[in-house]
Amino acid sequence: MSQQIKREVLKAFKNLHRTRESVFKGDHKALVAARAEINLNFRKNLSVTDEVEIKKLVKLAEDVNKELRTNVVQAVEKESGIFEVNIREEVPRLENVPFNPDAVIEKPRRGASKCGGAEPQAGKN
């Protein structure tokens, strides 16, 4: 295995651990579980020698790192049923539509199809 590939593997490994520390900050149980999972998967693939396969595994590690950084948030229960969400800078924010408690949801009309299509008619093929 070339030195360049070894550096890429080590970089992916370290980046995953840094991300783990950031994403699961303050959650000891999640930190320990994520560490074990990262280490397990890297050890499992320790015997892979094909550089093409190693590059695929590094790409997978980079993709997992990106998913963790951009799609995982922490929620901490502050009171019974009330949670505070820790949203980091990397997590994309979508435009939020405020909840309208006065919204009226109309009941479906009688006989209207739920899927919007025509009702099947018996005896026709």
Task: Tell me: pLDDT of 96 over 80.
Answer: no
Task: Tell me: pLDDT of 121 over 60.
Answer: no
Task: Tell me: pLDDT of 2 over 90.
Answer: no
DSSP H or E run through 42: helix 28-44
Q: What is the pLDDT of residue 63?
A: 97
Tokens representing 72? 């995982």
In the chain, what are the domain boundaries?
A: 3-86
Please compute, for residue 45, the number of CA atoms within 13 A of its CA located in the half-sphere on the CB side: 18
Q: 20-74, pLDDT tens digit by residue?
A: 999 999 899 999 999 999 999 999 999 999 999 999 999 999 999 999 999 888 8
Q: What torsion, rounded to 10 degrees, do the Cα atoms 107, 112, 116, 119 define?
A: 160
Task: Tell me: pLDDT of 8 over 90.
Answer: yes
Q: What is the pLDDT of residue 103?
A: 85
Q: What is the pLDDT of residue 4?
A: 94
d(CA 22, CA 109): 51
CB 67 within 8 A of CB 52: no
CB 35 within 8 A of CB 27: no
